[in-house]
Copies of this chain bind each other. A is one copy, B any other.
Amino acid sequence: MLSILALLSLFAADEAEKLGPTVGEIMEAAPEEIWLDPDPDQLIYIETEKGTAVVRLSSNLAQGHVEQVKTLAREHYYDGLHFYRVVHGFVAQGGDASGEKDKGSAKDSLTAEFEETAPEGFTFTPLGFADGYAAEAGYTDGMPAGRDAETETVWLAHCTGAFAFGRDVGRDTASTEFYITIQPQRYLDRNLTVFGRVIYGMDAIQALPRGNFGDGGVNADEATWTEIKSIRLESEIPSEDRIDLEYMDTSSETFRQLITARSARASEFFYYRPGYIDLCQMPLPVRLTPENAE
């Protein structure tokens, strides 16, 4: 005869089966081919005294901005400039606070790419949940994104680690100043051009000293600015100094399973299951390439 305890654990097993595999189980079962190597011409390394952050640039959205930052990186434009506006709970903004540094071959101003028609070959993995900021929220090309069937547009979303250019009030005024969100700021979606995402070293960005909280502007005290030692394309970095990263293919079946698992939470650790996941709380799996991991 089964004890009450055994009946309870049978029930728990049934429940878990109904809920499907856990995040850990899915990660263990993931096939090797869904781990993608980023293109070295699509990665930029940002060096400060706080460490290295690696940004992966979009492969098919906002290509005007992507080309601009690649030009600026190739010409070493950012070297010696600063993170001069780091606001608690908001963004870390860097570039030329004076606005006077020669931009070299880069453009003086860029056409806004806040949102755009989906390019050919565009793939989108919808979360399948309501989202206050987008008709549909999901992932494309390893990055959180929005899609709207009515406007027939797509865009990258301001989750933590979004890489974007700042601008003045005019739409087409972005040129060199960039920011990285240190927390989600989805209300900026479709208002600025996101064109990449930090895939490594957010601790180096989140460690940057915050400016006077309250004003939200440029850090008044220049002594609190952090120097940008360099911004480089990975393809310019000697192979022994590269960080060998891989990110999960977000159009893979494994990533779809992870979305389900992260909303359903099959593990017995959970007592309350919302059956929902927010875009910015759905992480992109990134790992060190196994043969190089310690």
* B262 A191 Cβ-Cβ under 8 A: no
A89-B283, A184-B281, A187-B265 are known contacts. Are A203 and B213 too (CB-CB below 8 A)? Answer: no
A185-B281, A214-B285 are known contacts. Are A206 and B203 too (CB-CB below 8 A)? Answer: yes
Chain B residues with Cβ below 8 Å from A213 are: 286-288
* A287 B187 Cβ-Cβ under 8 A: no
* B203 A208 Cβ-Cβ under 8 A: yes
Q: Using a CB-CB cutoff of 8 Å, which residues 139-196 of chain A contact chain B?
A: 160, 169, 171, 182-187, 189-191
A221 to B210, CA, bound (A): 29
A263 to B285, CA, bound (A): 31
Across the interface, A184 reaches (CB within 8 A) one of B27, B184, B207, namely B184
Chain B residues with Cβ below 8 Å from A274 are: 132-133, 186-187, 189
Chain B residues with Cβ below 8 Å from A186 are: 274, 278, 281
Q: Produce 1/0 per residue, A217-238, CB < 8 A to B.
A: 0000100000000000000000
A37 to B209, CA, bound (A): 24
Q: Is the interface of A mostly helix, strand, loop or mixed?
A: loop
* B133 A276 Cβ-Cβ under 8 A: yes
A169-B269, A171-B271 are known contacts. Are A132 and B129 too (CB-CB below 8 A)? Answer: yes
A114-B272, A189-B272, A213-B286 are known contacts. Are A280 and B183 too (CB-CB below 8 A)? Answer: yes
A277 at interface, CB cutoff 8 A? yes
User: Told that A191-B271, A213-B288 touch, could you supply 6 new A-B pairs with CB distance under 8 A?
Assistant: A130-B132, A185-B281, A187-B263, A190-B272, A191-B272, A213-B286
Complex A-B: 18 CB contacts under 8 Å = A88-B283, A89-B202, A114-B272, A132-B278, A133-B276, A160-B183, A171-B271, A183-B184, A183-B281, A184-B278, A184-B280, A186-B278, A187-B265, A190-B271, A190-B272, A191-B272, A203-B209, A206-B207
